Structure 1
Amino acid sequence: MKKLSVFTTWLGCLLMGLLVSNQPALANKSPKEEPIRIVSLDGTVSEILCDLGLQSHLIGVDVTSTYPESLQKLPKVGHNRNISAEGVISLKPTLVLTSVNAGTKPEVIEQIKSAGINVITFQQEYSVAGTKKLIQDIANTCQVTSRAKPLIKKLDADLAQVKKAVGNPKVLFIYARGTGTMMVSGRGTQVDKMIELAGGVNATSSFDNYKPLTAEALVTANPDVILLFDSGLESLGGSEGLAEVQGIAQTNAGKNGRIIVMDGHLLTGFSPRLGKALQELTQKISQKPKV
């Protein structure tokens, strides 16, 4: 009888341990402790937190945090390059997460830290390996290390479905916010990396970062495909508005109607949806000319 009692006690402890281990690490064990309150200043970081099952800890995000849709319900603290430290501090977070590439001003980060708030800045490389590392780094930081593995496995499965474009189509990405703000993407940008991973060639690879769009440069680049954010094309008045931009009609893309759009965060985020983004991009740049 005594042996049975000891066994029952041991089994009860084992089951309790299993139950506790399945709870989010950020959910404090003691009801007396305040829950972890996170503000994310980077859209990809926000997406990964949600995929790791930690969305309930998010109390505020930057405006680039557009996916999943449920993030729209959270308070916004501004664009990650123009964050108000006071706005972040007012939410009373216990943890602020961001990435180096988000571009939040160092003085803003220091101001948040000076308020006694822990700020962690992740490195993010725009590559498949970089995306996997970021997922793992965030999981490790939030003490949910094991949750990274299924996310990375799903990413690998999505990437396995990518069929690279044949013929190395020349792709020109135009960042547009109306006709007054039009830039083209050079080397080292997220879009440059995505075009390469999709089997295309960046039509403007003679410079780094972004440069203003000019009619002369557009005709010289002569892309097979022109790529924009869906919001960018909308800001120009749609395909008709883009066609009126000087130089567009003289390119192969303009002549053949090969204008494609994608969601901005999906295309440039290098998030757990990277495989899905590449599937969409390769399919679109592989489409045959309309004429």
Structure 2
Amino acid sequence: MKALSRALPAMLLACALLIVNTAQAQKRIVSLNGTVTEILCALGFEKQLVGVDVTSTYPASMQKVAKVGHNRNITAEPVLALQPDLVITTSNHVSPAVLEQFKSVGVKTVVLTQEYSLEGTCTLINQVAAALNVAAKGAALCKQLETDRQGIKALSRPKKVLFIYARGAGTMMVAGKETSLDKMITLAGAKNAADGFKDFKPLTAEALVAANPDVILMFDTGLESMGGVNGLLKVQGVAQTTAGKEKKVIVMDGQLLTGFGPRIVQALRELTQKIEG
């Protein structure tokens, strides 16, 4: 008993040091993916984020956090200048060479795989939670998402939806199979009108008329760059589609629509309502 009483203070000190060291290890985080940033904030690490990429637009507090560039062309220097304890991202954007630079200077680097599905969202949440030693919080967040999902009303009929990416009339692309847009449209119970190819391809009048979507879906910034619905209708082929004739053009925030993060149910609910409306 005396031996235990003598050992107890040392054990308590060790536990305290472990907690402190864990907190310090998570003190300065840089996220290079908008979805990962949302997950980190949802798990309670908002204040530890000292740097994010430009796709990290949510929550609004991220506007005040240092930006290190777009995740498709990140370089090591601006990230390392923030002296991070942890860099976390997904495997589909940041180059392996840059990731190796982080590791070579001793910065803990976590690279995760993202899958565009509801199950993939929970897997990503759990991976981030595990990396930050808060597995229980990750599990609770996933359970809440599954509960919220049950409240989404199905479409009355499966409509054909075409997503158009635009940066003015000079840059217009449509989303085919195996894209995050295709996955989200399908999850909403609709049909991707562009189903004959994978990834993105330039928009053509012929393909647009052949696809004949019931609904055209765009990012809010994309439609704005076109001068609104009237500007979009001036693009060759748009006015000949069912969506064009009925002016059925819907918009959503880009990160919300394509993030597949903690707001996926919110995105799905909004998309379903707009397609139906």
TM-score normalised over the length of structure 2 = 0.91
What is the number of residues matched between the two proteins?
270
Does the CA-based 8 Å contact 1:89-1:115 persist in structure 2?
no
Alignment-derived partner of residue 27 in structure 2: 36
Once the two structures are superposed, the pairs formed by residues 41-190 of structure 1 within 5 Å of their partners are 41-101=32-92, 103-190=93-180
**Which amino acid is the alignment partner of residue 70 of structure 1?**
S
- Partner SS, residue 67 of structure 2: coil
Show CA shifts across 1:183-242 (max 9, x none). Answer: 000000001001111010000011000000011111110000000000111111111111
TM-score normalised by structure 1 residue count: 0.87
Q: CA deviation at 1:150?
A: 2.4
Cα contact 1:28–1:35 (8 A) shared by 2 = no
Can you list the C-alpha shifts for 1:240-286, whole angstroms capped at 9, x where unaligned? Answer: 11111111000000001100000101100001111111100111111
- C-alpha separation between the residues in 2 aligned to 1:33 and 1:77? 22
Identity %: 55
What is the CA–CA distance in structure 1 between the aligned matches of 2:169 and 2:96, rounded to whole Å?
32
CA distance in 2, matches of 1:39, 1:32: 15
Q: Distance in 2 between matches of 1:170 and 1:125?
A: 23
Q: 1:32 to 1:230 in 2, by over 3 A?
A: closer
1:116, distance to aligned residue in structure 2 (A): 2.1
SS at structure 1 position matched to 2:198:
coil
User: What amino acid sits opposite 1:73 in the alignment?
Assistant: K
Stretch of structure 1 that moved more, 183-192 or 142-151 = 142-151
Q: Match of 2:228, as an amino acid? A: G
Instruction: Output the CA distance in 2 between the equivalents of 1:39 and 1:201.
Output: 37
* Mapping for residues 203-214 of structure 1, pairs under 5 Å: 203-214=193-204
Whether the 8 Å CA contact 1:166–1:199 is kept in 2: the answer is no
Listed as ranges, the matches of 1:186-201 within 5 Å are 186-201=176-191
For the residues of structure 2 that align with 1:30 and 1:123, how far apart are their CA atoms? 27
- With over 3 angstroms needed to count, the CA separation of the structure-2 counterparts of 1:258 and 1:159, relative to structure 1, is same
